[in-house]
Every structure is written in structure tokens, then in C-alpha cells.
Amino acid sequence: MDVTTSITGFVALYIFMLAAFTGYEIIGRVPAILHTPLMSGSNFVHGIVVVGAIYALMNATNPLEQGIGFVGVLFGAANAAGGYVVTERMLEMFKPSDKKKA
């Protein structure tokens, strides 16, 4: 926790508040047809947790912490990769009607 510039209580609250509004605004105007891909897409985005798990594992000092950190990185990586693949597969199928239909 001493590695990066510290984020004190109120700065953290500002970050959380602005991020919460951002999430709300992004989803608020989305057509229903994109709800599932967006849920999957947001599922992918919280896969960023893998970065935190890598930090925890790097700073592990005993086998217990190493073990927990290892599983954490494994889980986080699966979250990120799985979320990405499934979302991309869904989105690549959305196409407008092109040539046919008068």
C-alpha cells in the first residue's frame, strides 16, 4: 500500500461517485437489444481485478499468500478472458439488414 501515491478517503469518494455516474449514464440510454452484450461487457471490465491479484501475489511472503494469490490471478484472468471472448462473439453477430428488403 506504500507503493503508489496514496488515495485518501475523500479522493476515493470522488472517484467512486464520478465512476458510479459514468456507469449509470452509459447503461441508461442503451436499447434493450444490447442489454445482454453489455452485461457481458461489464462483466469483462471487472476482470481488471486480475491486476489487483497480480499485485497481491507479487507481494506474497509465504506459501499461504502465494497459494491464495495464485488462485486469485487464475480467477481474475478467467474473468477477463471469458468476458472478452463471449462479448465479442455476441457483438460480431449484430448486423443491420443490408442488400435485401426493399
Residues 20-79 that bind another protein (CB under 8 A): 20-24, 26-61, 64-66, 68-79
Residues found in the chain = 102
Kindly calculate the radius of gyration of the chain based on its CA atoms and give it in whole angstroms. 19
Report if residue 10 touches another protein, rule: CB under 8 A.
no
Report if residue 92 touches another protein, rule: CB under 8 A.
yes
> The C-alpha cell of 61 is what?
511472503
CB of 99 to another protein, least distance (A): 10
Query: Measuring CA to CA, how many Å separate 9 from each of 2, 17, 51, 57, 72?
Result: 15, 12, 22, 25, 26
CB of 29 to another protein, least distance (A): 7
CB of 63 to another protein, least distance (A): 10
